[in-house]
Amino acid sequence: MSYWDTSALAKLYVAEPDSALFEQKSATEGQAPVTARVTLLEMRRVAFRKEAEGFLQPLFAETILRRLAAHVQAGGVRVVESDLAVMAEFDGIMAGCYRRTPPLPVRTLDALHLASARAVGQSEIVATDARLREAALFLGFSLFPI
């Protein structure tokens, strides 16, 4: 099973040059993408930013967000809540990254994504964000795309 951060999940809802690769990954995996609750908030920023930059038609951000909400409701996207298990993983990730030599300055939301993945037993991170990928490798996750 794979954990999808916002950078990857967005490609299923907003057409980007490499979206087909992620659509194929989602279709062949046979299980719903797993992501953190914070992704639903980050997707709002993605949709409205893409609309403001002219990559989406005016007022299309809401359409994307409704589609995502429907997929979550139908079980097509599995959302991890930030519970005590996630918080414990988060603390361990922060300690491990910042106590590394040299320290790996993991960002708060990246650590939350990685903690969510760990808390529900995901071993692969689907992401395009370079800093999140670096931390994921350090923590022992496999990555997609390779």
CATH of the domain at 103: 3.40.50.1010
The torsion angles phi and psi of 75, rounded to 5 degrees, stand at 85, 10
Q: Quick one: which of 7, 11, 64 has its CA closest to 36?
A: 7
Q: Which structural domain range is residue 122 located in?
A: 2-144
The pLDDT-based confidence of 40 (bands split at 50, 70, 90) is: very high
Average pLDDT, the chain: 96
Residue 1 has pLDDT above 80, yes or no: no
Quick check: 123 and 1 in contact, CB under 8 A? yes
Residue 99: which pLDDT band, with cuts at 50, 70 and 90? Answer: very high
**What is the model's pLDDT at position 29?**
87
The whole-model pTM stands at 0.93
**HSE-CB of 146 using CA atoms within 13 angstroms:** 0
Mean pLDDT to the nearest integer, 98-104: 97
Number of domains in the chain: 1
pLDDT above 90: residue 37: yes
